[in-house]
Chains A and B, each alone.
Chain A
Amino acid sequence: QKEVEQNSGPLSVPEGAIASLNCTYSDRGSQSFFWYRQYSGKSPELIMFIYSNGDKEDGRFTAQLNKASQYVSLLIRDSQPSDSATYLCAVNRGAQKLVFGQGTRLTINP
């Protein structure tokens, strides 16, 4: 079992709809969770982080964490074509280490 799992996609969503990206992790001791966005040919960009159970909202983005189910998700409201990218879920393991999922490729269709 991989430490961090994501559906690789591609996930196709119409413009204006809600995109929902999911991630599960195996280490129950994980405390910190991150979402990175990576455009093709570019570097990963940190867009959301969440440390506590529940929802965290930032603009059109909402991160959701459920530690009991070992599940973290990212919702993108009012999806725009510029949101088309690969989204990487990352989980903190130990004091300094991030473990990444394989990423979900998201396409927003105009």
Chain B
Amino acid sequence: DTAVSQTPKYLVTQMGNDKSIKCEQNLGHDTMYWYKQDSKKFLKIMFSYNNKELIINETVPNRFSPKSPDKAHLNLHINSLELGDSAVYFCASSQDGRLQYFGPGTRLLVL
């Protein structure tokens, strides 16, 4: 059983399109995160939800909108995709906010 899963694994799309990435965790954790890893491998937090409530919202363009329908799911919708959005997006979950476990990642390429 995969603890933290993401779909899709790969996403290739044109500039200006809208896309969504989904994340699910079966660890029973209360907190979920979205991270972005750029081409230089720098990993940076974007959002965090605790039991469906947004608790961290870093300086992210408002084209990015997270949604948490329940504490096991956290989705990321991106509007009007730009070239600079190309990156690997990781979902993670944690019970205590410290030990965080990552999903396999979604590789987004904007053409």
Contact = CB atoms under 8 A, between A and B. Distances in A.
Given A96-B31, A96-B55, A46 B43 contact: no
B45 interface: yes
A45 B100 contact: no
Interface string A37-52: 0100011111001000
Interface string A86-105: 10100010011111101100
Given A97-B45, A102-B41, A49 B55 contact: no
B40 A102 contact: yes
A105 B99 CA distance: 22
Contacts of A49: 98-99
A70 interface: no
B101 A46 contact: yes
The A interface is mostly helix, strand or loop, or mixed, namely strand
A32 interface: yes
Interface stretch (B12-20, B60-68, B74-82, B102-110): B102-110
A102 B94 CA distance: 22
Interface in A34-82: 34, 36, 38, 42-46, 49
Given A92-B97, A95-B97, 14 more contacts: A36-B102, A43-B102, A43-B104, A49-B99, A96-B48, A96-B55, A96-B94, A96-B97, A97-B45, A97-B48, A98-B45, A98-B100, A100-B42, A102-B40
Interface of B: 31, 40-45, 48, 50, 55-56, 90, 94, 97-105
